[in-house]
Chains A and B, each alone.
Chain A
Amino acid sequence: MTREPILEVKELTKAFGGIMALHRVSFNVYEGEIVGIIGPNGSGKTTLINCITGFIKLSSGKVLFRGKDITGKAAHKIADMGITRTFQIMRPYYTLPAYKNLVIPLFSPRARRTGGWRGGGKLGDRNTVGIDILEEIGFERDSFVPYKLASTLPTGYLKRLELARCLALRPEIIFCDEVFSGLSMSEIASMVPLIERLQMDGITLVMIEHRLRELFRVANRVMVLNFGEKLMEGSAEEIMASEEVKEAYFGSEEVEEVMSHA
């Protein structure tokens, strides 16, 4: 591709004591695409997101966002630039109703800067903007669901709430940490079009996933991590065809199953 990448990760390395969690991982993300990151448990996928979004300090390497060095910046500053993330283990504000959960990101400097009246503040009420966002993300507006305490919501809604928190910031990139996991087949089926719509809205998505079938359907490109190293990168077909990937860690049965359904 000749376009300038929106996000460049160069030789990112992270060591926890003597354990090499990530070793010289480099990849580019281009504007408007969906990049999938897959790999077996413990291969460093979540650590990679944590490093890029500033939640943990990386040992060495560089992260560039639109050509600007954001390596080692504080997490809230990176989020303020429009690089948002969801958490694999959902982190809603359990004591607040679902729509009040969105008042907090809407109160952030970025939302106030970029949102216009939709950001709440003087011209609009953050509560109503929050309900609007929840409706976009699949909460039924006229039901009780947006008004229920986050602690009473089922997993599917909490995953959506995680995405809604990112959307409230009007993000440029969303790092989705396993948004499909723990969902039923029907919940996933309704989540896939949502992801596709976010892409159509011009948001770049980086998705960590174990649900390969659904990921391969939406992702433009897939990167494979194994033991903290980048194993390969390519289209879904290339990944599935790769003997290396297959043998290294998919386990041949899983690949066959995916291949037969995809």
Chain B
Amino acid sequence: MMAQTRRKERLDRGIRVRTDGLYALMSWRELSYLTLPRVVLIFGVLALPFVMPSMYWQRVISIVCIYSFLAISFDLLAHFVGLVSLGGAFFVGVGSYLAAILNTSLGLPVALTIPISTVLGATICTALLLPCLPLRGVYFAIVTLMYPLALARVIEALNILGGTDGIMGVASFPSRWVEQYFMIGALLLFLFAIRRLVNLDLGLVLRAVKDNDQAVRASGMNVTFYKAIAVFIASAMGCLAGASLVHIYMWAGISQFALDFSILPIAATVIGGAGTLTGPLLGCFILVPISELLRAFGTLRIVFYSLILVGFIVFRSEGIMVYAQRKYHQFERWVKV
């Protein structure tokens, strides 16, 4: 075999170095270099309801947002706290049943059911997950996977909360514009809030728990407490998604405990780039519409879907967002060794 004579060299772009500090405020070019990616993301997402051709595709936007919530919540737990969560279905299920009960039994309007079931649902999820938080390892993943399966069977077997029929007659959003802009607005809010959180001192503690929980304990901090905070935030996002889903479908049923809500966000995180928070969102905006497009193929769509996933994992395992960030901030060239 021939010895390798060249290698790829990666260098930070000059503008990236220049925009590191306050200096960036000195020129429009530097300013736009910093803000443009965010502006494109925000206005791109906000414009989506206008761009979409039909009612059907506008509905898809809302579903994309729901999966995005779950993907960001997965990314937060897995890559900033070190808890691998398969609990998307659990969070969605709890949030959706709570919202349905609050709406049909207590007659609360949509404007109240969503915030209440977000906070209450997150409290319930955190309390139920609390016993496995002091443990390290796979236990959290197993327990989060177990709860949605168990709860669905409990509802089925005891015939409570509407049994297999589910809870029907839940109020819908006032209009589809309200629905879409509520979802998009909440999604952007949570995305930027979480990105801010992981860079705060509290976020550093969470990342430290992932890195090295013994040292956090030796620093006089209760690891379980900080894990619980993270689980509360993540499950609040999941419950918000679930509560919105109920008002979109106007129905809560055991299919809201379906494992799709656990698995698809993970796939989206892999495709979008783990640990970037924006990546999982991008991943959902790619994966969910693709799975809608592939509906025409019937059961074959699973095959296409898997091929796309495998392709990404083999050829771009770092994820779109990590790749894009690198291209944006650095240039590459081949140099002779």
Interface residues of A (CB under 8 A from B): 53, 55, 74-77, 79-80, 84-85, 87, 91-96, 100, 103-111, 120, 126, 165, 168-169
- Does the CB pair B205–A109 fall under 8 Å? no
CA distance A87 to B213 in the complex (A): 13
* CB of B229, distance to nearest CB on chain A (Å): 12
Known: A74-B222, A93-B211, A104-B215. 20 other contacts (CB 8 A): A55-B218, A76-B222, A77-B220, A79-B219, A85-B218, A87-B215, A91-B212, A94-B211, A95-B211, A96-B204, A96-B207, A96-B208, A100-B204, A104-B216, A104-B219, A106-B201, A107-B204, A110-B220, A111-B220, A169-B219
* CB of B130, distance to nearest CB on chain A (Å): 15
- Does the CB pair A87–B218 fall under 8 Å? yes
- Does the CB pair B215–A92 fall under 8 Å? yes
- Does the CB pair A79–B217 fall under 8 Å? yes
- The verdict on B202 contacting chain A, using a C-beta distance below 8 Å, is yes
* CB of B203, distance to nearest CB on chain A (Å): 10
- Does the CB pair A104–B208 fall under 8 Å? yes
- Does the CB pair A108–B207 fall under 8 Å? no
- The verdict on B291 contacting chain A, using a C-beta distance below 8 Å, is no
- The verdict on B221 contacting chain A, using a C-beta distance below 8 Å, is yes
- The verdict on B223 contacting chain A, using a C-beta distance below 8 Å, is yes
A93 CB contacts on chain B under 8 angstroms: 207-208, 211-212, 215
A106 CB contacts on chain B under 8 angstroms: 201
- Does the CB pair B207–A75 fall under 8 Å? no
* CB of B83, distance to nearest CB on chain A (Å): 16
B204 CB contacts on chain A under 8 angstroms: 96, 100, 103-104, 107
CA distance A109 to B214 in the complex (A): 17
- Does the CB pair A107–B207 fall under 8 Å? no
Q: Nearest 3 A-B pairs (CB), nearest first?
A: A79-B220, A105-B219, A80-B220
- Does the CB pair A108–B219 fall under 8 Å? yes
- Does the CB pair B201–A107 fall under 8 Å? yes
Given contacts A94-B211, A95-B211, contact A165 B219 (CB under 8 A): yes
- Does the CB pair B214–A87 fall under 8 Å? yes
* CB of A111, distance to nearest CB on chain B (Å): 8
CA distance A80 to B225 in the complex (A): 15
* CB of A188, distance to nearest CB on chain B (Å): 23
